[in-house]
Homo-oligomer: A and B are copies of this chain.
């Protein structure tokens, strides 16, 4: 198996808790390695996919399309991040969002059932997911707060500071969507034409 991928997963896990190499190996064995191409859908809105994905390479976005056919970005993900549709993976309902690749790459796919098995065999794993879910939760709280009390320009400035790498790697129209403003308006902010 690719050592680079192993390192990526072990770094992500060990950032929060201690795991043995055997335990990480176990996760790789339970998971399925999948390649994806730019533009490919990993999850389609409406389908039930009880799987979560650890991104090994490339970039993905989670977004949904509203009644006016406007796309809204929920979340982005690059190598080293977990991404799934929580309604489908966690609760078993239909996915509320699309997950699509913006850059080709690969991921490690783990089913809900296999994850329950892994929880039983790797004591720290459930706590790890509690911690990263809490972090994601705190992140979404912050995003709501920013949407409530910052102007469009302030939100963009805060975003650049928080995610300097992301800014360079994702198309501007998706960043605008993530920040809750129109693509045109973000363009005006960047070029000081407000």
Contacts and interface: CB of A to CB of B under 8 A. Distances in A.
Contacts of A138: 86-87, 90-91
A140 B133 contact: no
A68 to B, nearest CB: 8
A104 B138 CA distance: 27
A129 interface: yes
A143 interface: yes
A91 B139 CA distance: 13
B70 A134 contact: no
Interface string A174-194: 000100100000000000000
Contacts of A145: 64, 72, 74
A130 interface: yes
Interface in A17-73: 64, 66-68, 70, 72
A168 interface: no
* Copies assembled: 2
Contacts of A129: 130
Given A127-B126, A138-B86, A147 B74 contact: no
Given A134-B86, A137-B136, A138-B90, A147 B144 contact: yes
Given A126-B126, A133-B133, A147-B147, 15 more contacts: A66-B148, A68-B149, A72-B145, A86-B137, A86-B138, A90-B131, A126-B127, A126-B130, A130-B130, A137-B137, A140-B140, A140-B141, A140-B144, A143-B144, A147-B180
24 contacts: A64-B145, A66-B148, A66-B149, A72-B148, A72-B149, A74-B144, A74-B145, A86-B134, A86-B137, A86-B141, A90-B131, A91-B138, A126-B127, A126-B130, A130-B130, A130-B133, A133-B133, A133-B137, A137-B140, A140-B140, A140-B144, A144-B144, A147-B147, A147-B180
